[in-house]
Structure 1
Amino acid sequence: MTFRELLEKYKNQTATPEERKQVEAELEKYNALTEYLLEQDVDMEGEDLAGQQEELQKIHRSMKKRGRRIIAIAVVIACVVMGTLTAFQPAISKVIWYDPTERDFQQFAYDIDCHMAVLTELTMPEVQVESILPTEQGWGKYGLQVQQRDWSTGEYTWLNGTATRGKIELNHNAYKYSSMNVFSRGTKPFVDVDGEHSVITPSADAKAALADLPEYMYMEAYVSLGRDWTMEELENFAAQQEGYLGWVGVRISPEDQQLFPLMGFDADSSGYVWDNVDEAYPFYELSMHEDVPLAEAWEKHFLALLQYSIDHGDFYARLNQSNRHGATCQMVQEYVTENGVKTYGFLYYGTPAEMRTLLEHEDVEGIYVTDYQLRVPGL
């Protein structure tokens, strides 16, 4: 009989006493083996848990070491980056933001000198920009010192400004535009030339006022014309005068429309000679074209100033008071290309006698004196 059949009789209580002893002896053996195996499993599990815990501790220690290395590397990288930014800050700043110390056109002057010289000549009759000195102040910021010369007195004025991350802020006194009514026909009239509130003195009254003045006076005056002159007519007139022809106003819009500021050019070739600029914009420098008829040179000079302003519109857009200069010059260029470069008046410098001679011309209808000086001969 098998043990399974014997166990079945034991469960059914049909086994003999001998068979019962045999089954119980086997069961006793089975219980002993079970307890032994259970004890072995517990010991093995304990060893496994201890091993796993030790492995986890190794991993934790490794991660802490790695974390410390990562932090140390990050600190080193941060120090290197900050050191690099500090060392190369000027170069990085110049790449990101506008740099007023650029020298593309001339080696002895900054580009900003030429940019401001063009703006001043076109729109500011009584002054000339001599130079601009930029000083780096870090991270896209520069201090600016603008030197202007007064045409009448010859005196120099220094004005401060800043260029901060591309935006240029100049002292408001740097923008010396002319008044709207200094010419009788320069813009849409606000005050009639013969009106009692006009700043313009008609020719007959001006000659009478000048008659008793000493000849050691030297005056600056806006001269108004009764009709527009071509550049040839202006050249012929200037050749017959003893005084000095200064800034020339150019008709830049129909007479019944308002466009401000007034625009024109300096008839003389004084100031710095920027030959590289003239190569890029022919007739920018009048003194370099003395073999060309003066009327033609004046016309091409004015057009060169306009083209320069259009091409560098991004610079003028940075200025606090001239951000539409480039766009305005584009409109003016279109107008004068269609209608020609003509003048309605100009600035003139001379003695009372020279002013009286000027007022004899039939097209001169009045003057507006803005400045005078005493110039004693020999002193």
Structure 2
Amino acid sequence: MNFRELIDKYKNGIASEEEKLLIKQEIEKYEAIEEYLSENIDIDFMEVENYDDQRDETIKLKKSVNSRLRRVVITSVSVVMLIILGIFFVLSPIIDSFYYNPTKISVGQYNQDIYFDLTAFTELNLPGYSLGLVTAERLGFGNYNIYYSRHNLFTKESKNISSKIKRDTHLKNFENIFEEEYISLGFQIITNPEISEYQYFKENKNRVISHIKKLNPVSYVSAYLTFEEDLTMEEIYNMLMEYDDIEITWIGIRTAPKDEAIQYLTGFKPPSNAVSAADDRPDKNKYPAFQLLDWLRDHTRSRNQSIWPEGYELHYKSLLRYMIDRKDEVNVLDHNHLKIQHYQSALDYVEEHGVKSYGVLIYANAEDLLTFIGKESIYTIELNQVMTSKRYIR
């Protein structure tokens, strides 16, 4: 029996007493040898001096690698930042230059171009409204936010509106933001002259007057009126001077023969509702009366030589010329390429036939409105809005 077989018997508990004694003696012998070896043999797996040298070298290598990594990371970040800065400060302005930039200051000296663009658009096309603060914010790559306040001249209410332009695409049509009844409903006889032959339409004036008579005399009324014959600007001015208790807030101008439909109605605000940009205005040589109040201030004459009718005519023509010259900008704001053609044809018409009014938007107490209608040659009248009383009585 060899020693391995003897060990197996010992582990399995079947060894005899003599065999157990033999195994114990062998174990004691190997323990003594192991102890001797551990005390007297110096096993140097790695010389300490060499290990220290390798550790120092490892530390240096780590520092070198970290330094290189940092330089690579910093270089990469710098390159990325330069690319980003290049995109926003070089590429973005280049892209902006291809599209309408409402933040640009090229029309006036202080106000952004959007101010003059929206001012002219509103006055020509949207009776009963005016603009307050107008500003645009550049977002880059042809994108802009537009902010402005809209004032209802009848109710005296204001509304803050925001919109966005994205590379010449107006994400909300400016004209459609005005939720109230559209102008053409008040001047149907101008946009659809054929309806004058309808019996209902012939009787409509009397029905409206009868309704006004039923109102409280101090009820405040907004109404569209048309005249039996077009009035010159001098006649409009005399009308404004004669009636202190009424407010003509918008004057519609004829831009086609009387028997032809006018698809797009345009006009202007008289001085009481005109706006001034505090000496900031477009080119005075091209648009001499763009700011009507400023022009009137610059051309003061004696009371016997009124310049107001002349100012009215120049003001309307200045607004049309401005819109024609700002063709691309108008197309962005209005989303209607036909409007530019209309502005040009309107200007051609008034240059040949003069600036004459087919009707007005008027505000007055019910009693004063009836007096006005009774004295003047009014062809049609359409109620727009009625309030219990005028606000802010003075």
State the TM-score, normalized to the length of structure 2.
0.68
- Please state if 1:361 is matched with 2:361: no
Task: Look up the SS of the partner of 2:324 in the other structure.
Answer: helix
- 1:213 Cα deviation (Å)? 2.5
Select between 74-83 and 327-336 the one with higher mean Cα deviation: 74-83
- 1:141 Cα deviation (Å)? 1.0
Q: What CA distance in whole angstroms lies between the structure 1 residues aligned with 2:260 and 2:355?
A: 17
Contact preservation (8 Å) 2:114, 2:135: no
Task: Look up the SS of the partner of 2:262 in the other structure.
Answer: coil
1:68-83 correspondence runs (5 A): 80-83=82-85
**In the alignment, which residue of structure 2 is the partner of 1:125?**
127
Contact preservation (8 Å) 2:275, 2:293: no
Task: Look up the SS of the partner of 1:99 in the other structure.
Answer: coil
1:57-136 correspondence runs (5 A): 80-88=82-90, 91-136=93-138
Task: Look up the SS of the partner of 1:318 in the other structure.
Answer: helix
Aligned equivalent of 1:318, options 332, 340, 351: 332
Q: What CA distance in whole angstroms lies between the structure 2 residues aligned with 1:166 and 1:183?
A: 32
**In the alignment, which residue of structure 1 is the partner of 2:71?**
none
- Please state if 1:259 is matched with 2:262: yes
**In the alignment, which residue of structure 1 is the partner of 2:291?**
285
The change in CA–CA distance for 1:194 and 1:247 in structure 2 (over 3 A counts) is farther
- 1:160 Cα deviation (Å)? 3.2
Q: Which amino acid aligns with 1:307?
A: R
User: Identity over aligned residues, as a percent?
Assistant: 23
Select between 224-233 and 322-331 the one with higher mean Cα deviation: 322-331
State the TM-score, normalized to the length of structure 1.
0.71
- 1:191 Cα deviation (Å)? 2.7
Q: Which amino acid aligns with 1:214?
A: N
- 1:119 Cα deviation (Å)? 1.1
**In the alignment, which residue of structure 1 is the partner of 2:7?**
none
The change in CA–CA distance for 1:162 and 1:323 in structure 2 (over 3 A counts) is farther
Q: Which amino acid aligns with 2:360?
A: F
Which has the greater radius of gyration? 1
Contact preservation (8 Å) 2:105, 2:112: yes
Give unpaired runs (5+ residues) of structure 1. 1-72
The change in CA–CA distance for 1:84 and 1:179 in structure 2 (over 3 A counts) is closer
Q: What CA distance in whole angstroms lies between the structure 1 residues aligned with 2:163 and 2:209?
A: 43
Task: Look up the SS of the partner of 1:317 in the other structure.
Answer: helix
Q: What CA distance in whole angstroms lies between the structure 2 residues aligned with 1:209 and 1:122?
A: 30
- Please state if 1:331 is matched with 2:334: no
**In the alignment, which residue of structure 2 is the partner of 1:249?**
252
Task: Look up the SS of the partner of 1:277 in the other structure.
Answer: coil
Q: Which has the higher helix share?
A: 2
- 1:190 Cα deviation (Å)? 4.9
Select between 339-348 and 148-157 the one with higher mean Cα deviation: 148-157
Q: What CA distance in whole angstroms lies between the structure 2 residues aligned with 1:189 and 1:114?
A: 33
Cα shift readout 1:196-239 (whole Å, capped 9, x = no counterpart):
2x49841x544443334223311110011111111122222222
**In the alignment, which residue of structure 1 is the partner of 2:223?**
221
- 1:159 Cα deviation (Å)? 3.1
Cα shift readout 1:48-73 (whole Å, capped 9, x = no counterpart):
xxxxxxxxxxxxxxxxxxxxxxxxx9
Q: What CA distance in whole angstroms lies between the structure 2 residues aligned with 1:337 and 1:158?
A: 37
4+ residue stretches of structure 1 with deviation over 6 A? 73-79, 376-379
The change in CA–CA distance for 1:186 and 1:270 in structure 2 (over 3 A counts) is same
Q: Which amino acid aligns with 1:183?
A: F
- 1:283 Cα deviation (Å)? 1.4
Task: Look up the SS of the partner of 1:349 in the other structure.
Answer: strand
**In the alignment, which residue of structure 1 is the partner of 2:36?**
none
**In the alignment, which residue of structure 1 is the partner of 2:366?**
352
Contact preservation (8 Å) 1:223, 1:368: yes
Contact preservation (8 Å) 2:126, 2:183: no
Task: Look up the SS of the partner of 1:114 in the other structure.
Answer: helix
Aligned equivalent of 2:140, options 138, 141, 164: 138
Q: What CA distance in whole angstroms lies between the structure 1 residues aligned with 2:133 and 2:203?
A: 33
The change in CA–CA distance for 1:272 and 1:266 in structure 2 (over 3 A counts) is closer
- 1:109 Cα deviation (Å)? 2.8
The change in CA–CA distance for 1:143 and 1:75 in structure 2 (over 3 A counts) is closer
Q: What CA distance in whole angstroms lies between the structure 2 residues aligned with 1:116 and 1:195?
A: 40
Task: Look up the SS of the partner of 1:346 in the other structure.
Answer: strand
Aligned equivalent of 1:162, options 147, 161, 164: 164
The change in CA–CA distance for 1:231 and 1:113 in structure 2 (over 3 A counts) is same
Q: Which amino acid aligns with 1:330?
A: Q
The change in CA–CA distance for 1:117 and 1:337 in structure 2 (over 3 A counts) is same
Q: What CA distance in whole angstroms lies between the structure 2 residues aligned with 1:183 and 1:337?
A: 23
- 1:193 Cα deviation (Å)? 7.5
Q: What CA distance in whole angstroms lies between the structure 2 residues aligned with 1:215 and 1:117?
A: 35
**In the alignment, which residue of structure 1 is the partner of 2:187?**
183
Select between 339-348 and 237-246 the one with higher mean Cα deviation: 237-246
Q: What CA distance in whole angstroms lies between the structure 2 residues aligned with 1:358 and 1:161?
A: 40
